[in-house]
Structure 1
């Protein structure tokens, strides 16, 4: 895939998960305008490893996800874009901005399901929902911990990864998983590591509320 429009962000996009954007920079307004004339309006999303979303001059990851536009709403001076994560992609080469970033991409093979993973997949869902519920107590939940997931086991595993209250570095590690078993295993361990931290923070928050009462 050559000269694909790119939108570097400060967050990781997983396959099969939604992306909501408020687009206000002129270069990205141009990009979305062009895409709306395309038969398949999609762009690549990569994590900004250093720098900021606005203004340029950022350092970008070389692994990302295609985002397929499903809805665009116009504001007074901006656009509100809803997209859905599609296939993972590797950046082969960054091109010159046009005026937005563009890159040559290669598809990353999709993860494959094995029925032998079902018990572990069910365990991970329980863990992720439990930890996400803890995060919601601290108003840090990424998704509703009770959100319904896709029927497809690969898609639902990526959705669990999006639900998990993890930092962007850990999320990027998950994005780079080469097998579904590896993704599930990493997600399980990361959430188990995060759980006691959230429990302690929730207890501290409760103690503070009691002191203020």
Structure 2
């Protein structure tokens, strides 16, 4: 039987992938309370899930069922808020949402780590080439994208999750990737999503 754990949660308007960094600006009292509780522990971690409907501020939002564990790396106080840097760890599936007081919490199931298969190397190379080429094209229209020449992790599974993280795709495509059952499944899903973006760029360029 899968182990279930209770975890503080931070619903966001963006997706966090394993092995990817994320910067947060925390100012709501409920999340300040969450930070206070976490920073007194040896392993300050919380779950990040994408908001399906609603807004980040104020509560009452609907949330997707797949997310990622975020490990706190840096915390810096500023006037009226706290800047937090986290990195993505394990993938999680929400089993049950608990009361949001004093901050959002959920019972979650940690999903198995994806295992690297050497047979997937050609597909990884093909997918990475597509992602980097599409990033280069899309960056002419959106300056907030990741640079197409960015270095990625040497660990092959982390490398692929980072490919997912830098790919110029929308949050709905991103959250689907979190449900991947294998490295091959993840690579195929990234390739399909980025191909759709590349075709859209073709249409826009005439």
TM-score, with length taken from structure 2: 0.95
What is the CA-CA distance between 1:141 and the residue it aligns to?
A: 4.6
Q: d(CA) in 2 for partners of 1:59 and 1:108? A: 22
Residues 129-185 of structure 1, C-alpha deviation per residue, up to 9 Å, x if partnerless?
011111211125531211100001100100000111111111111111111101101
Look up the SS of the partner of 1:109 in the other structure: coil
What is the CA-CA distance between 1:61 and the residue it aligns to?
A: 1.0
Look up the SS of the partner of 1:49 in the other structure: strand
Indicate the residue corresponding to 2:71 in structure 1: 68
Q: d(CA) in 1 for partners of 2:196 and 2:202? A: 11
TM-score, with length taken from structure 1: 0.92
1:198 to 183, 201, 206: 201
* Higher Rg: 1
Flag structure 1 segments of 5+ consecutive residues without an equivalent. Answer: 205-213
Q: d(CA) in 2 for partners of 1:140 and 1:181? A: 30
Matched, 1:189 2:192: yes
Query: Which structure carries more strand by proportion?
Result: 2
The 8 Å contact of residues 177 and 183 in structure 1, kept in 2 or not, is answered as yes
4+ aligned runs moved over 3 Å, structure 1: none
Flag structure 2 segments of 5+ consecutive residues without an equivalent. Answer: none
Matched, 1:139 2:142: yes
Alignment: residue pair count = 203
The 8 Å contact of residues 164 and 191 in structure 1, kept in 2 or not, is answered as yes
Matches within 5 A, 1:150-161: 150-161=153-164
Look up the SS of the partner of 1:104 in the other structure: strand
